[in-house]
Structure 1
Amino acid sequence: MRIIAGTARSLPLKTIEGLETRPTTDKIKETLFNMLQNDVPGCYFLDLFAGSGQIGLEAISRGALYAVFIENNRKAAKCIEDNIAFTKFTKESRLLTTDVISGISNLEGKYTFDIIFMDPPYRQGLEEDVLRFLSKSSVLKPDTMIIVEASLDTDFSYLDELGFSVIKFKKYKTNMHVFIQQKRV
């Protein structure tokens, strides 16, 4: 696993051993960032269920001004901390070692984000819990792009009632990225 492009290009990143996290493959990460290439430079990026921190670090490497990582697994958080130090992105990042809802609550009134990426454990309904919380959160701007990495069978039928709509989605062999924004009034 490595940074694919930008100022930290080719730097290898740590990940924790075992099945506690599911790092996004380089190929899927590259496809994602190709889709976001015009949105990342100059943005504030929130990486939820951050794992190794590779998505947020890739965003900083590609020109994001700042990234906040939220991860409650202590081993994974240590890995993120090490990866931030190794890439020398300490001034451009902040790590919160807590559950996602508590982390977002902690950010209320302090930050707004242009892009929010989340890769929660599959088939636990966590993306719905987070999206319900975000629908009332001050960390969203009117045009914030929320990207959820999810299993192919994940149901997003509740988005309309939360005031969100799917802008686009990209399916892969075993998962997908769903791009979500608040509905325009």
Structure 2
Amino acid sequence: MRIITGKARGLKLTVPKNMDVRPTADRVKESLFNIIGTKIIGARVLDMFAGTGNLGLESWSRGAAAVTFVDESRESLRLVQSNIVKCRAEADVQVLKGSAVNIIEHLHHQGLKFDFAFCDPPYNKGWVQKVLQKMEHFQVLEDGGYLIIEHSKHDEIGVLAACFELVRQEPYGETLLSFIRFAKV
């Protein structure tokens, strides 16, 4: 697993020694960032279920202004911290320990807003729906911001609230990338 382009291009990230973390495959990540394009430049990014920090650090490398990483696993946070140091991104990032679902409310109360939120939870565990519900009530996305969910094609996102619009889905084998745009109602 590596940073594909930008200021940390080619840097190999530290990966987990076990299968508890499922990093986004390079081909999926490359496709995701080709779709986002230059919109990532200057963006504020939330990387939920951060795992290794792969998506957030790719965002940072491509010019995101700030990245907030969230994970509740100590091992994942150790990997994220290690990869942040490798990239020399300490000045532009924040790392929070806790459940992504609970952290959303915390971020909202702090008045923080994001242009992009990446959600890459364990597959088929109901996390996608929980995150969508929480983000509907505690709006941490800027108007026009995107929630990008990497999920199993068997894990339906369900009926979206009026503030969300599914604008694109891309399949990659068993994985599906869903691009959901937020609009204040």
Is the pair's TM-score, using the shorter chain for normalization, greater than 0.5?
Answer: yes
After superposition, the C-alpha distances for 1:83-132 in whole angstroms (9 at most, x for unaligned) are 10110000110000111122222222342100000000000110110110
Residue number in structure 1 paired with 2:33: 33
Residue number in structure 2 paired with 1:48: 48
Shift of 1:162: 5.2
- Structure 1: runs of 5+ lacking an equivalent: none
Shift of 1:163: 3.1
For 1:4 and 1:122, locate their aligned partners in 2 and report how far apart those are by CA, in whole Å.
24
SS at match of 2:91: coil
Residue number in structure 1 paired with 2:62: 62
- Structure 2: runs of 5+ lacking an equivalent: none
1:81-160 equivalences in 2 (<5 Å): 81-108=81-108, 109-159=110-160
Q: Which moved more, 1:102-111 or 1:59-68?
A: 102-111
AA aligned opposite 1:165: E
Higher helix proportion, which one?
2
Shift of 1:156: 2.0
After superposition, the C-alpha distances for 1:44-91 in whole angstroms (9 at most, x for unaligned) are 000000000010000000000000000111001001001101100001
Residue number in structure 2 paired with 1:10: 10
TM-align CA RMSD: 1.3
Shift of 1:154: 1.7
Residue number in structure 2 paired with 1:166: 166
Q: Number of residue pairs matched?
A: 184
For 2:182 and 2:41, locate their aligned partners in 1 and report how far apart those are by CA, in whole Å.
21
- TM-score w.r.t. the length of structure 2 is 0.95
- TM-score w.r.t. the length of structure 1 is 0.95
1:180 aligns with 2:174: no
Q: Are 1:169 and 1:177, in contact at CA under 8 Å, matched by a contact in 2? A: yes
Aligned identity (percent) is 33
SS at match of 1:120: coil
